[in-house]
Amino acid sequence: MSNLLETRKCRIEGPMHVLRGHLGEVISCAVGPDLGLVVSSSNMSGVLLHSLRTGRLIKKIHVAEAHAVSLSSQGIILVWSESKKRLSSFTVNGVPIATSVLSPFSGGVSCIEISMDGHFALIGTCSSSNYKCEDNTEVADHEPNKSSRKVDISEQTEIRQSVNVPSICFVDLHKLKVNKQTNLKQVSDLRCLSFDGSLTRNVFLLGVSYTGAWKGPGHHSNCIKQREH
């Protein structure tokens, strides 16, 4: 009985924090429990970093478009811009690391997963876009101690890479170079993916009328199990 009462006392009845700062709809969010950070994006407010412990706004990264964001355990923020077909990486302090433009690339990025060591990303592509692209470059700023300088991605040395659709790509987060690409001819529309911690192990895919498991890049990336439904 005492254990039951103790459990009830620790029960959370609502949000721990309200993360403020976005002026528009939040379209992507990632949590880094090891770093104690939450990174989120919207078309109106760029990319915001909040403290997971206090909910306080820590940093704002001024990017015109951020349709998907991910956060690695090494403190690397990965940002995808759908209309520009651009992957960009930043430190948690907002310093640009690398930029890669997927070209030619006729599809969209449907899902992103980060490896446990925080050095690689697994990116799934599909033939259709999941995001509504809006041409909105005005980004309002509510960050304390803000800097008026916006991140100019063009200042960096961009690399261009051809990516097939649909496919899964293994990307080095430090250089944003596609180390390996596997075509998925039997998957018409890849919706989500996951892997068991290491990129040398199995990758699990879910698409329209398709579920499958693939070997990671440490193997020959052959399909080891699939089911159509």
- Segments making up each domain of the chain, as ranges: 16-145+152-228
Residue 172's pLDDT is: 94
Residue 12's pLDDT is: 64
Separation of alpha carbons 129 and 229, rounded Å: 23
Closest CA to 89 of 111, 120, 117: 120
Q: 89 near 98, Cβ under 8 Å? A: yes
pLDDT in tens, the chain (229 residues): 556 555 556 666 778 889 999 999 999 999 999 999 999 999 888 999 999 999 999 999 999 889 999 999 999 999 999 999 999 999 999 999 999 999 989 888 989 999 888 989 989 888 866 555 554 444 444 444 444 445 555 445 789 999 988 888 989 999 999 998 888 776 667 778 777 655 555 666 665 555 666 665 554 444 544 555 4
What CATH class does 16-145+152-228 carry? Answer: mainly beta
Enter the pTM of the model. 0.77
